[in-house]
């Protein structure tokens, strides 16, 4: 566990010191989401209808922006080889780096999401559900995206390949996250969508480190 927390602290520290990548992800998320109201017009009903989908699609794309370098940077400078020889298995290394990715990418998106909800004139109860959906959904994005990042270690044109691998796997998270917020707007039950989001996260926590560790092990051979 000491190795696990050391990896998390190291990646968070590097992200904070670098700063640019995390800031660019957040700036992209905010600016891209703000542009849609200017394009579709100020009609409140239209904005409420498209708001949850736009916020979540832009969050998904923003989370992908920093995935390509999740393992490739450590692979290039030899850090990944050193981590492979540490007492912690690669599954633990994967989980630590996925958590660090969420802390530096997913958490800022979660904090910014309610602010964007104001631009789409979401009703008051929808803000809480939007936050809950982001809290349950963004860790799944980091875990699933981490598997894709592990699979492209050492590959050419990794960004294109990563998008092809990860985007189809993001679809269930996107569907149920948006459905949960829409349920508030249209007076439908919210609980089923949130429970499915929680189930997806609970499934990703054990499965993604297993798959990601295997992918890293293959890349280092």
Per-residue pLDDT of the chain in tens (221 residues, 90 and over written 9):
677 888 888 888 888 886 677 788 889 999 999 988 888 877 878 888 888 999 999 999 998 888 877 888 777 777 787 887 877 888 998 999 999 999 999 899 999 998 888 888 888 888 999 999 999 999 999 999 999 988 888 777 667 788 888 999 999 999 999 999 999 988 889 999 999 999 999 999 999 999 988 988 888 77
Q: Which DSSP string corresponds to 8-49?
A: HHHHHHHHHHH-HHHHHHHHHHHHHHHHHHHHH-S-HHHHHH
CA distance 127 to 171: 22
User: Which of 178, 179, 169 is closest to 203 using CA atoms?
Assistant: 169
Q: What is the largest CA-CA distance in the chain?
A: 58
Chain segment 110-162, per-residue pLDDT in tens = 999 988 888 888 888 889 999 999 999 999 999 999 999 888 887 776 677 88
CA distance 201 to 203: 5
Mean pLDDT of the chain: 87
Mention every residue, 6+ apart, whose C-beta is less than 8 A from residue 158: 68, 72, 152
pLDDT, position 138: 94
Determine contact, residues 38/112, Cβ cutoff 8 Å: no
DSSP-based three-state secondary structure for 85: coil
CA distance 68 to 56: 20
pLDDT, position 4: 83
CA distance 99 to 71: 13
Tokens of 67: 């995935």
CA distance 24 to 212: 26
pLDDT, position 87: 79
pLDDT, position 173: 95
């Amino acid at each position: 566990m000491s190795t696990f927390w050391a990896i998390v602290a190291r990646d968070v520290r590097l992200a904070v010191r670098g700063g640019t990548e995390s800031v660019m992800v957040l700036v992209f998320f905010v600016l891209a989401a703000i542009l849609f109201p200017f394009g579709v017009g100020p009609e409140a009903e239209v904005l409420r209808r498209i708001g949850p989908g736009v916020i979540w699609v832009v969050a998904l794309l923003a989370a992908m922006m920093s995935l390509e370098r999740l393992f490739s940077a450590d692979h290039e400078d030899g850090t990944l080889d050193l981590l492979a020889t540490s007492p912690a298995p690669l599954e633990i290394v994967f989980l630590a780096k996925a958590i660090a990715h969420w802390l530096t990418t997913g958490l800022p998106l979660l904090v910014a999401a309610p602010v964007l909800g104001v631009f789409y004139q979401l009703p008051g109860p929808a803000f809480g559900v939007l936050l809950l959906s982001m809290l349950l959904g963004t860790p799944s994005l980091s875990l699933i995206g981490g598997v894709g990042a592990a699979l492209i270690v050492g590959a050419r044109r990794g960004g294109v390949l990563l998008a092809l691998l990860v985007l189809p796997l993001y679809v269930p998270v996107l569907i149920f996250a948006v459905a949960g917020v829409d349920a508030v707007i249209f007076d439908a039950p919210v609980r089923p969508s949130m429970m499915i989001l929680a189930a997806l996260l609970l499934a990703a926590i054990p499965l993604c480190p297993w798959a990601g560790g295997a992918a890293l092990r293959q890349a280092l051979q």
